[in-house]
Amino acid sequence: MKTQEMLLNVGPQHPSTHGVFRVVLTLDGETVVNATSVPGYLHRGIEKLVESRTYPQVLPYTDRLDYLAGILMNWGYVHAMEQLMEIEVPERAEYIRVIVGELQRIASHLVATGAYAGDVGGLTGFIYCFRDREDIMDMIEMVSGARLTPSYMRIGGVAGDLPDGFLEKCQKFIDYLPTAIEEYNGLITGNEIFQHRTKKVAPITAEKAINMSLSGPILRASGVNYDLRKARPYSIYDRFEFDVPLGSNGDCFDRFYLRILEMTQSARIIRQALAKLPEGPINAKVPKIIKPPAGEVYAETESSKGIMGVYVVSDGSTKPYRVHFRRPSFVNMGHFDELIRGWKIADVIAILGSFDIVLGEVDC
Amino acid sequence: MENIFVNAAGGIRNLLESAGLPGLAVDLIVLTVIFVAILVFVLLNVLWLVYMERKVSAFIQCRIGPNRVGPMGLFQTIADTVKLISKEIIIPKNTNKKLFLLAPVMIFMPPMAVFAVTPFGKGMVALDLNIGVYYFVALASLSTVIIWTAGWTSNNKYSLLGSMRVVAQMVSYEVPLLLSIVGVVLLTGTLNLTGIITSQQSVWFIFLQPLAFLIYLIAAVAETNRTPFDLVEGESEIITGPFTEYSGMGFAFFFLAEYANVLLVSMLASILFLGGWLAPFGLTFIPSWIWLLLKVYLMIFILMWLRWTYPRIRIDQMMAFCWKVLVPLAIVNIFVTGIGKYLYESVRW
Amino acid sequence: MFGKGLLKGLKITIGRFFGKKSTVQYPEKRLPLPDRFYGKPDFHYDKCIACNLCVNACPNKVITLGTDTVEKKKVVTGYHFDQQYCLFCGLCEEACPKDAITFTDDFELTTYDRNTIGIEFVKQEQVDNKIKEIKQAAAEKAAAEKAAAETKVQTENTDKEQTTNKEGGA
């Protein structure tokens, strides 16, 4: 029998490429023989755009990188700028950053969990996750005035103090979260069909993960204990007690389940931060017109997708000479086309979902 | 109430006969009326089912669902259908135009044809066919060909993948579906659907054939392309599979036909395993056709409940599940049923 | 045991089926919005001192401020807010020293026409009034000054007269 390989364009408009990602598959029946990923459909040239903006004006653009974790993106940028200008951030601001940042991390992981359930066909799990994410969105809206694009952090602090009622709401959510996680575990994680779909699918070995410079939950699912919050604590993460959950097989299931485990740890951090939240100013003394000394800085933070690195070159003027973002999703995607070879089309979607990419971040 | 439809049919027949029409013409007219009635019944149910699915999914997902068009959003499906009618039917380039347009027209045929032999209540059957079960199995598998035609003529790679899945899935799941029914047929010794119902007078076959019922349920879900076996449509993988290129009414036909199939397999399930129109606990004051409807809707609710709980299985796992689990189980079930029946008949306690 | 997870999932979904719904029936009911919400911008003409800080703070050059100098005073003649490019980051609100630009909680920003997206906050009559006010104030001031000058001249004159008288008398 004469058979032929088929070329299939998955995306840029496809229900489960999480945006406008395109991957060109060469198929033998349902099996992927070859794959080429084609990112760039959401490229807005943010790195170039911000060169013509002043330092504070860069901030709203960082929201648009990983729009599911805007605050963590803000954090990456302000962290780099604070290192460049050697600003000491006040205690209270650091605590607020940790609280809001970890809330955002939970929100981002909730999207990952829910979207993954949707990717493998269980739309109810998707809705449940989004229902609970809505609580976090409300809280972020309370502190920053926007749901997705908070622009909450400022160089040297945060935009505003925590509003009235925030602490109670946050506490309430943290208390509720275990119930919700139990529900996800019952509906999604514990489901045998789901486990059949994800276990032993596309495993990444620890060695390979390190070689491909993966970071975040994908790296830790392969059993590599590397979380910047523990390995090289920035901000005040060295003051909190939390574990770094690790996977063992590095397959889709581990990558998925690790995020649920991380939500619990984030909740733990928030609980401690809420208890220890000090009084005080929320902004360091920063000149009105920000003119960092000429020089360059590269600073890394742990975003929900992995290591978010920000590289800023300053020429001493009010505008950055060059800004580069090391977007974790983009770097993680480097391993994608190699990984999906030999798996079925349905697995391609499952693997892509387990990577939890955000196209705003991949294409920048 | 019990004989309202039977009496109506009889009334029409009497009227025509008293008008002096020849017997053949009377039969023809009465049958036409009955078939039109079935058609209307099925279409109304399909419209309701689309609404019901949306409501059930919404309730499961902590939402409210359609509630704007008409009271409780009851006219939502009608509004959607009207919208789809008004849409342009886009025909892709380089397609076989005739087959492309024929497929959505044909898709309603197999379920409609099967409804001709299903008993809707006591004495309420359009054609009391002696080989009803066989007829159902033979016709229900026809929709495979039609969906495959739709996918093939769409000239789209997603459609092609979807239609290949249709062939693989529906042909495979015909086997356990058929084998699970064999158990029931063994017990009754008849292929007549009315006969199968009447032989459940003492006990429903779901209690005698629990395994067969389970296999039938799984195979039925696969036959109707619903989650966890909705690989044919699998919207997160292959968009909507064979229906990707269809727009407007073409798409609506496939969409509505899916619910006609749901109605059909649920009806068959209640006839074969749940005692059809027989009333449980001697509650005979409720008409038989209402009992049948209740059982059918119980089955439909279970199907919807399953759909909105489970994720989708993968194609190779699904095939393995069919041939390595369901088919052997169904064969074991036939053996056990046969041996049991032999023992029962030889001992006769 | 195989199937336990499947049954647990069914239990969860049927529980939710009969459980409380979390939908908010939007146009009739609305969720409360926090005070910091960035909705449609609002401009307070009287508070604005035309310092241009908001224009400089905006990352996207959304705001165009028109000023005119009337009688050595800056008058805002136009405040165009090109809403389609707004990021709703709030940097302009933060930059404003007089709270002249604020954000309301109106989030229904859809329009039928592209031309109506941009908001021209300043009305011509406001400018006219302001200019008139300033001119009037200036005129009054001038008049007052003049009057003051005149009285001064007069007093000077009277002083002179008095002195001359005195001199004369002397």
pLDDT > 90? residue B141: no
Average pLDDT per consecutive 10 residues, chain A (364 residues; last block may be shorter): 86 81 88 89 89 89 88 90 89 90 92 89 88 90 88 87 88 91 89 88 89 90 89 88 89 91 91 89 86 90 90 90 90 88 88 87 84
Among C4, C7, C23, most B C-beta atoms within 10 A, so best to mutate, is C23
Is C87 close to A144, i.e. CB distance below 8 A? no
Chain A residues closer than 8 Å to B315 by CB: 30, 344, 346
pLDDT > 90? residue B19: no
Pairing mode, strands A153-154 and A157-158: antiparallel
Cβ distance B161 to B238 under 8 Å?
Answer: yes
Closest-CA residue to B310 (of C116, A125, A58): A125
Q: How far apart are CA A221 and CA B295, in angstroms?
A: 47
Subunits with 3+ Cβ pairs within 8 Å of C are A, B
Mean pLDDT, range B234-247, rounded to an integer: 83
pLDDT > 70? residue C169: no
pLDDT band for position B39 (50/70/90)? confident
> For C44-67, how does the pLDDT look when each residue is reduced to its tens digit (9 = 90+)?
888 888 888 888 888 888 888 888
Amino acid A105: pLDDT: 92
Amino acid A313: pLDDT: 93
Residue B266 vs residues A1, B77, B95, B302: alpha-carbon distances, Å: 40, 21, 35, 10
Neighbours of A350 (CB within 10 A): 31
In CATH, the architecture of C23-123 is: 2-Layer Sandwich (3.30)
Cβ distance A95 to A273 under 8 Å?
Answer: yes
pLDDT band for position C161 (50/70/90)? low
Is B61 close to A123, i.e. CB distance below 8 A? yes
CA dihedral in degrees (A287, A292, A298, A301; nearest 10)?
A: 10
- For residue A241, the distance in angstroms to the closest alpha carbon of chain B comes to 35
Up-side HSE of residue B244: CA atoms within 13 Å toward CB?
A: 29
What residue in C sits closest to B228 (Cα-Cα)? C6
> For B271-323, how does the pLDDT look when each residue is reduced to its tens digit (9 = 90+)?
888 887 777 777 777 787 888 888 889 999 999 998 888 888 888 888 888 89
Q: How far apart are CA B230 and CA A226, in angstroms?
A: 39
Q: How far apart are CA B295 and CA B121, in angstroms?
A: 12
Cis amide prior to A12 (ω within 30 degrees): yes
pLDDT > 70? residue B218: yes
Closest-CA residue to A96 (of A302, A286, A300, A282): A282
Chain B residues closer than 8 Å to C17 by CB: 56, 59-60, 305
Mean of all residue pLDDT scores within chain B: 85
φ, ψ (nearest 5 deg) of residue B313: -85, 160
Is A131 close to C22, i.e. CB distance below 8 A? yes
Chain C residues closer than 8 Å to A192 by CB: 2-3, 5-6
Q: Is the Cβ of B56 closer than 8 Å to some Cβ of chain C?
A: yes
Closest-CA residue to A20 (of A40, A48, A47): A40
Radius of gyration of chain A (CA): 21
Mean pLDDT, range B22-31, rounded to an integer: 81
> For C111-138, how does the pLDDT look when each residue is reduced to its tens digit (9 = 90+)?
898 888 888 888 888 888 888 888 888 8
Domain membership flag for residue A305:
yes
Chain B residues closer than 8 Å to C21 by CB: 59, 62-64
Chain A residues closer than 8 Å to B227 by CB: 121-122
Closest-CA residue to C19 (of A142, B60, A63, A317): B60
Chain B residues closer than 8 Å to C14 by CB: 60, 305
Is B317 close to A196, i.e. CB distance below 8 A? yes
Closest-CA residue to A196 (of A121, A260, A129, A130): A121
Cβ distance B42 to C3 under 8 Å?
Answer: no
- For residue C145, the distance in angstroms to the closest alpha carbon of chain A comes to 40
Amino acid C159: pLDDT: 61
Amino acid B68: pLDDT: 87
Count contacts between A and B (CB, < 8 Å).
Answer: 83
Among C16, C36, C55, C92, most A C-beta atoms within 10 A, so best to mutate, is C36
Is B236 close to A30, i.e. CB distance below 8 A? no
Amino acid C157: pLDDT: 66
pLDDT band for position B11 (50/70/90)? confident
Chain B residues closer than 8 Å to A16 by CB: 236-237
Cβ distance C141 to C79 under 8 Å?
Answer: no
Residue C162 makes CB contacts below 8 A (sequence gap 6+) with none
**What sign results for the dihedral spanned by CA atoms A33, A38, A41, A44?**
positive
Q: Which residue of B56, B62, B308 is in closest CB contact with C19?
A: B62
DSSP A16-30: TSSSS-EEEEEEETT
pLDDT > 80? residue B125: no
Domain membership flag for residue A107:
yes
Amino acid C165: pLDDT: 55
Place of tokens 């053949």: B24
What value of ipTM does the predicted structure carry?
0.85
Amino acid A261: pLDDT: 92
Domain membership flag for residue A346:
yes
**What sign results for the dihedral spanned by CA atoms B61, B62, B66, B71?**
positive
A→C contacts (Cβ < 8 Å), by residue, are 53, 56-61, 63, 124, 128, 131, 134, 138, 141-146, 149, 151, 159-160, 163, 183, 186-187, 190-195
Task: Count the domains in chain A.
Answer: 1
Cβ distance A151 to A67 under 8 Å?
Answer: no
For residues C70-88, one letter each, b for 16 or more C-beta atoms within 10 angstroms of the residue's C-beta and e for the rest, the string is beeebbbbebebbbeebbb
Domain chopping of chain C, boundaries: 23-123
Subunits with 3+ Cβ pairs within 8 Å of B are A, C
Is B309 close to C22, i.e. CB distance below 8 A? no
pLDDT > 50? residue B241: yes
Cβ distance B233 to B225 under 8 Å?
Answer: yes
Lookup: tokens for A175: 């208390």
Lookup: tokens for B52: 């019901």
Percentage of chain C lying above the pLDDT 90 cut? 0
Backbone conformation region of residue B149, classed left if phi is above 0, alpha if psi is from -120 to 50, else beta: alpha
Closest-CA residue to A350 (of A9, A18, A110, A29): A18
Q: How far apart are CA A305 and CA A112, in angstroms?
A: 10
Amino acid C168: pLDDT: 47
Is B305 close to C9, i.e. CB distance below 8 A? no
pLDDT > 60? residue C166: no
Amino acid A312: pLDDT: 92
Percentage of chain B lying above the pLDDT 70 cut? 99
> For B151-187, how does the pLDDT look when each residue is reduced to its tens digit (9 = 90+)?
888 888 888 888 888 888 888 888 888 888 888 888 8
What residue in C sits closest to A193 (Cα-Cα)? C6
Amino acid C84: pLDDT: 87
DSSP A226-239: --HHHHS--TTGGG
What residue in B sits closest to A187 (Cα-Cα)? B309
Instruction: Label residue C20 exposed, middle or buried (CB < 10 Å: 0-12, 13-18, 19+).
Output: exposed
Is B310 close to A346, i.e. CB distance below 8 A? no
Q: Is the Cβ of C111 closer than 8 Å to some Cβ of chain B?
A: no
Closest-CA residue to A69 (of A120, A133, A128): A133
Cβ distance B339 to B188 under 8 Å?
Answer: no
Can you give the residue range of the structural domain that contains A358? 6-363
| CATH value at residue A326 | 1.10.645.10
> For B40-99, how does the pLDDT look when each residue is reduced to its tens digit (9 = 90+)?
888 888 888 989 999 999 999 888 888 888 888 888 888 888 888 888 888 888 888 888
How many contiguous H segments (helices) and E segments (strands) does chain C have?
Answer: 4, 5
Is C17 close to B64, i.e. CB distance below 8 A? no
